């Protein structure tokens, strides 16, 4: 808003010019600010959704080992297999070891994991195509939070207890 307050001619009672916004322009600045804030809020929400970690569900039962929508039926004594892949699970004392093989995103994936005796962590190593990877899994309220050596993470949902996950999920 601009007002000329110097009266011309000198000594006169009123300024000769006065620039005031029309009544309909008063809210324009507020509207622009509101639209700008709405745009910034939408960008922040989009960035947060983009950074959200993927979640993969894994379920192990006496009948099958399920990873997402893939089911490996039990073959006997800790062996689960189908044309989609295989996993072998063994227990030595309180430590659970697992090895798995599959084709993951077009590459041969071989992995091995050991669940600690307390069930609160899992150490894994993988071979995905020609690349070697390591990962540490930490138990959460809903499953594992896997962190690969490069810092990328994936949440693995375990709806029914603890299960080893020797597949490079989230890669």
The percentage of the chain sitting over the pLDDT mark of 70, rounded to a whole number, equals 68
Q: Residue 90: what are its φ and ψ, rounded to 5°? A: -135, 155
The rounded mean pLDDT for the chain is 83
Residue 169 burial (CB < 10 Å; 0-12/13-18/19+)? buried
SS3 content of the chain, % helix, strand, coil (to 5): 15, 45, 35
Residues forming beta bridges with residue 153, ordered by sequence position = 147
24-80 pLDDT tens trace: 556 666 667 666 666 666 666 665 555 556 688 999 998 999 998 899 999 988 999
Long-range own/partner contacts, residues 143-148 (CB < 8 A, 24 or more apart): 143/58, 146/170
- The pLDDT value given to residue 139: 94
């Amino acid at each position: 808003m601009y007002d000329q307050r110097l009266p011309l001619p000198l000594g006169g009672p009123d300024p000769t010019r006065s620039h005031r916004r029309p009544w309909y322009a008063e809210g324009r600045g507020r509207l622009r600010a509101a639209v700008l804030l709405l745009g910034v809020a939408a960008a922040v929400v989009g960035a947060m959704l983009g950074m959200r970690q993927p979640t993969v569900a894994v379920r192990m039962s006496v009948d099958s080992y399920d990873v997402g929508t893939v089911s490996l039926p039990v073959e006997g004594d800790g062996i689960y297999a189908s044309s989609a892949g295989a996993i072998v699970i063994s227990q030595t004392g309180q430590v659970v070891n697992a090895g798995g093989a599959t084709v993951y995103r077009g590459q041969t994936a071989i992995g091995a994991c050991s669940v600690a005796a307390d069930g609160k962590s899992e150490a894994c190593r993988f071979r995905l195509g020609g690349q070697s990877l390591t990962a540490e899994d930490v138990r959460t309220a809903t499953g594992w939070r896997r962190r690969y050596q490069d810092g990328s993470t994936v949440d693995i949902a375990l709806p029914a207890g603890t299960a080893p996950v020797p597949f490079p999920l989230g890669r």
